[in-house]
Amino acid sequence: MTTRTKLAEDTWKRMDKINAELFILTYGSIVAQLCNEFEEYAEVNKQLDRMGYGIGTRLVEDFLARTNIGRCRDLRETADILSKVGFKIYLNITPAVTNWSADSRAFSLILDDNPLADFVELPEDGRAQDELWFSNVLCGVIRGALEMLQVQVEAQFVSDVLRGDPATELRVIFVKMIDEGQPINDE
């Protein structure tokens, strides 16, 4: 396992970096603008997921080009690579992989330190606290990236510190392996 961590660390060092505040403020203004444009927070979540899907389908190519990691044998390996290498080289965080379901088809990523949500306080209009998943773009990225690797998953947030929950938890559920030849639904 330490070879993966080392690979991640080395790849992270070679990546070009962007100023964190610029990145966070850009993402924050995207979410704020979406909230202004759409009445329902559920719709905002969906838009963020779609944006993430577009990012993920393209990001996975960059990921494979940089890390040259081979095929994962099972979901556990996928989860491990996702958290130790994937999140590490793009966001410099390593979420913990926990809460495996009994049949090993679902797991949770616990983000202790979510850079997208720095400085953010959800609007106090009574609905944002219950309906908005601020970092929902990450769900789309995971779904899009894995779909390009023929693995279909569902990803959604179950808790978020911005809502007052104790931790930020993202649940990833394996649906099926995609057969060759299915058209990719690039919305």
Partner 1 sequence: MSFLLVIVGPADEPLYQLEFGTSRSGGDGTARFREDARPMNQFILHSSLDIVDELIFKDAQMYMKTVDRFNNAHISAFVTAGNVRFLLLHDVKNDEAIKTFLNDLYELYLKTIMNPFHEHNAPITSSAFDGRVRALARKYL
x/- letters, 111..140, toward partner 1 (CB under 8 A):
-------xxxxxxx----------------
Segment near partner 1 (CB under 8 A); pick from 8-16, 24-32, 69-77, 144-152: 24-32
Extract the tokens encoding 51: 């944006």
Min dist. Cβ of residue 143 to partner 1 (A): 24
Which of 60, 122 has the CB closer to partner 1? 122
Say if CB 93 and CB 86 are below 8 A apart.
no
32 makes contact with partner 1 (CB under 8 A): yes
**Between 166 and 183, CB nearer to partner 1:** 166
The CB-of-121 to partner 1 minimum distance in angstroms stands at 5
Q: How far is the CB of 48 from partner 1 (least distance, A)?
A: 13
Q: Which of 20, 25, 96, 158 binds partner 1 (CB under 8 A)?
A: 25
By the 8 A CB rule, do 172 and 156 touch? no
Label the pairing between strands 168-177 and 106-111: antiparallel
Residue type (1 letter), 79: A
* Contact residues for 91 (Cβ-Cβ < 8 A; gap 6+): 115
Residue nearer to partner 1 on the CB measure, 83 or 136: 136
What is the radius of gyration, based on Cα positions, of the chain? 16
Residues 24 and 119: beta-carbon distance below 8 Å:
yes
